[in-house]
């Protein structure tokens, strides 16, 4: 498969045979339209771009209108029950499309596909294909099967697959920001979480291929990459690893770029090394990353962030709970003190770093007192932003097996409402603190509300709105003097660049 994506100069007979087959298949699918809709985390959105690339190789074009599609894929999320419910509802809507077009192929991809496997075909008659996150290379064959009148399933998880050699087709792109997947899976086994079951074992992607992808994006005009992994701090690449795509990439020009993290010199590359390597591509390429894990984020990573202006001063550090007993039940492998220590390290090493978090309310057996520890953690950190959720029991997880989901819905909701209100206050507080400062903003496009304004993000990831003007356009950096704010947005005006 790799040969199809990275051209190789050796033409033996079997390769010619493969090429002929590929041509025939591309011709067969030529002009067939793929519509793909993604739910869940950034990694799913990034995977959809890999899927689009795999199918583009076979002649498929993407469409943004599902009524025109020959193939509809829905890339799903299982993280909470309501995420799954949304997908089920959406599938019902596609029933009408299928009635109008009986040749339509409907596929379920991603985490729900992996969790439910062939059960999906029984439960949702509309669905023709079920494909897990590590089996996307098999999609062309699976579609062929459906074309031949069968249903098709591939939910094999892999210890090696990173799709390193695949150059994603950017979907719904503004040509400025892109997600770049640096690892897959998760080995952490937080007791509430379904991800280790749906995404399999953790594996890191070859740094050369990550660098090549980022460099290519920069050359195409992109100015911001977000490096993605469930736990980026445990990124680890050893040069003895050989994965698909390596050979082609070793030959690539990017090899000349100074690798800061060993690898080509024979050392292991950790996340700090990788960050540095990507930051060195160009000072005008902004580097973001998600998600950091409190147990693994090192001072070395923090010093690297501080060292490079183009590595953004923004860390998403999910706490989940501020109480050590609950953290233990959650199997997060850190306690309140450890988390506070990491926050203090961020404040010490990176002055002016924005911090956001994820919080779960009403985890099994959580008392009011323990919930107050979460509230007091919010008071301590004063997060810039937070994603907050009610605990949702997921089948098969450690928590589902070991603990009763015993906090009544109204209590979960009350605690959630309380922390949402608290977060509003702190978001506003953080925004207000920026008034009078000058923010370096990467212009992303017109603001949602008006084409008289541009929007873009500050280094600390705050959304900034300012009037459209002469001499600057999307994809460029401007200095914006902040004049006022809402809870979610900074508002200001462009001032001349200081030399």
Binding-site annotation: residue ranges for [4Fe-4S] cluster: 41, 77, 111, 186, 190, 193
Mark residues 371-390: x for contact with ligand SAH by CB under 6 A, - for none.
Answer: ------------------x-
The C-alpha atoms of residue 21 and residue 329 are separated, in whole angstroms, by: 53
Q: Say whether residue 321 binds ligand SF4 (CB under 6 A).
A: no
| Residue nearer to ligand SAH on the CB measure, 216 or 358 | 358
The C-alpha atoms of residue 462 and residue 15 are separated, in whole angstroms, by: 50
Report the partner that residue 24 touches, choosing among ligand F3S, ligand SAH, ligand SF4, none (CB closer than 5 to 8 A by kind).
none
Report the partner that residue 358 touches, choosing among ligand SAH, ligand SF4, ligand F3S, none (CB closer than 5 to 8 A by kind).
ligand SAH
Mark residues 302-321: x for contact with ligand SAH by CB under 6 A, - for none.
Answer: ----------------x-x-
Q: Say whether residue 38 binds ligand SAH (CB under 6 A).
A: no
Tokens of 169: 């087709």
Least separation, in Å, of the C-beta of 193 and ligand F3S? 8
- Residue with nearest beta carbon to ligand F3S: 40
> Would you tell me how many other CB atoms lie within 10 Å of the CB of residue 472?
16
| Residue nearer to ligand SAH on the CB measure, 137 or 199 | 199
Write 136-139 long-range contacts (CB < 8 A, 24+): 136/47, 136/50, 136/51, 136/54, 136/109, 136/163, 137/1, 137/54, 137/161, 137/163, 139/51, 139/54, 139/55, 139/107
Q: Give Cα 1 distance to the centre of its chain.
A: 25
| Contact present, 365 and 328 (Cβ < 8 Å) | no
Report the partner that residue 43 touches, choosing among ligand SAH, ligand F3S, ligand SF4, none (CB closer than 5 to 8 A by kind).
ligand F3S
Least separation, in Å, of the C-beta of 190 and ligand F3S? 12
In the β-sheet with 33-38, what is the strand arrangement from edge to edge?
A: 61-62, 33-38, 71-76, 105-109, 129-131, 152-154
| Contact present, 254 and 208 (Cβ < 8 Å) | yes
Report the partner that residue 392 touches, choosing among ligand SAH, ligand SF4, ligand F3S, none (CB closer than 5 to 8 A by kind).
ligand SAH
Site for ligand SF4, residues 247 to 306, rule: CB under 6 A: 293
Which residue of 76, 154, 230, 269 would you call a contact of ligand SAH, by CB under 6 A?
230
Q: Say whether residue 192 binds ligand SAH (CB under 6 A).
A: yes
Determine the angle formed by the axes of helices 139-147 and 42-56, rounding to 10 degrees: 70
Least separation, in Å, of the C-beta of 195 and ligand F3S? 5
| Residue nearer to ligand SF4 on the CB measure, 166 or 319 | 319
> Would you tell me how many other CB atoms lie within 10 Å of the CB of residue 243?
20
Mark residues 139-178: x for contact with ligand SAH by CB under 6 A, - for none.
Answer: ----------------------------------------
| Residue nearer to ligand F3S on the CB measure, 78 or 162 | 78
| Residue nearer to ligand SAH on the CB measure, 318 or 322 | 318
The C-alpha atoms of residue 413 and residue 152 are separated, in whole angstroms, by: 40
102 by Cβ neighbours in 10 Å (0-12 / 13-18 / 19+) ranks as: exposed
| Residue nearer to ligand F3S on the CB measure, 83 or 176 | 83
**Could you please report the per-residue DSSP string of 141-191?**
HHHHHHHTT--EEE----SS---TT--PPPPS--SSEEEEE-EE------T
Report the partner that residue 294 touches, choosing among ligand SF4, ligand SAH, ligand F3S, none (CB closer than 5 to 8 A by kind).
none
Nearest to 316 by CA among 274, 277, 353: 353
Residues lying near ligand F3S in the complex (CB under 6 A) are found at 40-41, 43-44, 77-79, 110-111, 194-195, 198-199
Which residue of 193, 279, 297, 364 would you call a contact of ligand SF4, by CB under 6 A?
193
| Residue nearer to ligand SAH on the CB measure, 288 or 394 | 394
Nearest to 162 by CA among 277, 39, 46: 46
Report the partner that residue 208 touches, choosing among ligand SF4, ligand SAH, ligand F3S, none (CB closer than 5 to 8 A by kind).
none
| Contact present, 58 and 147 (Cβ < 8 Å) | no
| Contact present, 169 and 53 (Cβ < 8 Å) | yes
Report how far apart, in Å, the C-alpha atoms of 93 and of each of 79, 80, 81, 100, 243 are.
Answer: 22, 21, 19, 12, 40
Q: Say whether residue 58 binds ligand SAH (CB under 6 A).
A: no
The C-alpha atoms of residue 294 and residue 340 are separated, in whole angstroms, by: 9
Q: Say whether residue 234 binds ligand SAH (CB under 6 A).
A: no
108 by Cβ neighbours in 10 Å (0-12 / 13-18 / 19+) ranks as: buried
DSSP β-ladder status, 314-316 and 354-361:
parallel
Which residue of 83, 139, 182, 186 would you call a contact of ligand SF4, by CB under 6 A?
186
Mark residues 195-224: x for contact with ligand SF4 by CB under 6 A, - for none.
Answer: xx----------------------------
Report the partner that residue 475 touches, choosing among ligand F3S, ligand SF4, ligand SAH, none (CB closer than 5 to 8 A by kind).
none
Which residue of 188, 270, 304, 447 would you call a contact of ligand SF4, by CB under 6 A?
188
**Where does this chain bind ligand SAH (CB under 6 A)?**
79-80, 192-193, 195, 230-231, 291, 293, 318, 320, 358, 360, 389, 391-392, 394
């Amino acid at each position: 498969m790799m040969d199809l994506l990275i051209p190789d100069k050796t033409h033996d007979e079997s390769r010619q045979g493969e090429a002929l087959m590929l041509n025939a298949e591309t011709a067969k699918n030529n002009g067939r339209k793929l519509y793909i809709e993604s739910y869940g985390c950034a990694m799913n959105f990034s995977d959809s771009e890999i899927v689009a690339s795999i199918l583009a190789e076979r002649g498929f074009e993407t469409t943004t209108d599902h009524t025109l599609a020959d193939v509809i894929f829905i890339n799903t999320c299982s993280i909470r029950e309501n995420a799954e419910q949304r997908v089920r509802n959406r599938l019902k809507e596609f029933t009408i499309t299928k009635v109008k077009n009986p040749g339509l192929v409907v596929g379920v991809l991603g985490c729900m596909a992996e969790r439910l496997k062939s059960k999906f075909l029984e439960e949702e008659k509309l669905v023709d294909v079920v494909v897990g996150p590590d089996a996307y290379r098999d999609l062309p064959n699976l579609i062929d099967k459906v074309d031949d009148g069968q249903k098709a399933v591939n939910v094999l998880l892999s210890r090696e697959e990173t799709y390193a050699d695949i150059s994603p087709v950017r979907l719904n792109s503004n040509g400025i920001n892109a997600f770049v997947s640096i690892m897959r899976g998760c080995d952490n086994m937080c007791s509430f979480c379904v991800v280790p079951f749906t995404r399999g074992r953790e594996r890191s992607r070859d740094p050369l291929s990550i660098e090549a992808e980022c460099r290519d994006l920069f050359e195409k005009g992109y100015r911001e990459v977000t490096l993605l992994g469930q736990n980026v701090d445990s990124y680890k690449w050893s040069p003895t690893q050989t994965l698909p795509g390596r050979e082609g990439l070793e030959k690539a020009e990017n090899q000349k770029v100074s690798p800061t993290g060993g690898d080509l010199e024979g050392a292991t590359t950790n996340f700090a090394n990788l960050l540095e390597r990507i930051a060195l591509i160009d000072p005008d390429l902004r580097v973001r990353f998600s998600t950091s894990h409190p147990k693994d984020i090192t001072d070395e990573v923090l010093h690297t962030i501080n060292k490079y202006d183009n590595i953004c001063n923004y860390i998403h550090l999910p706490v989940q709970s501020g109480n050590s007993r609950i953290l233990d039940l959650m199997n997060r492998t850190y306690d309140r003190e450890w988390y506070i220590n990491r926050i203090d390290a961020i404040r010490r090493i990176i002055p002016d770093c924005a911090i956001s978090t994820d919080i779960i309310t009403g985890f099994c057996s959580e008392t009011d007192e323990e919930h107050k520890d979460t509230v007091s953690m919010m008071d301590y950190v004063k997060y810039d932003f937070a994603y907050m959720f009610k605990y949702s029991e997921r089948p098969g997880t450690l928590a589902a097996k070991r603990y009763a989901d015993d906090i009544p819905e109204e209590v979960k909701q009350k605690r959630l409402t309380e922390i949402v209100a608290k977060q509003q206050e702190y978001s506003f507080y953080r925004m207000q603190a920026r008034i009078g400062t000058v923010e370096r903003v990467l212009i992303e496009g017109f603001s949602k509300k008006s084409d008289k304004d541009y929007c873009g993000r500050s280094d600390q990831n705050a959304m900034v709105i300012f009037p459209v003007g002469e001499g600057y356009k999307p994809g460029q950096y401007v200095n914006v003097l902040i004049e006022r704010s809402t809870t979610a947005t900074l508002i200001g005006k462009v001032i001349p660049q200081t030399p």
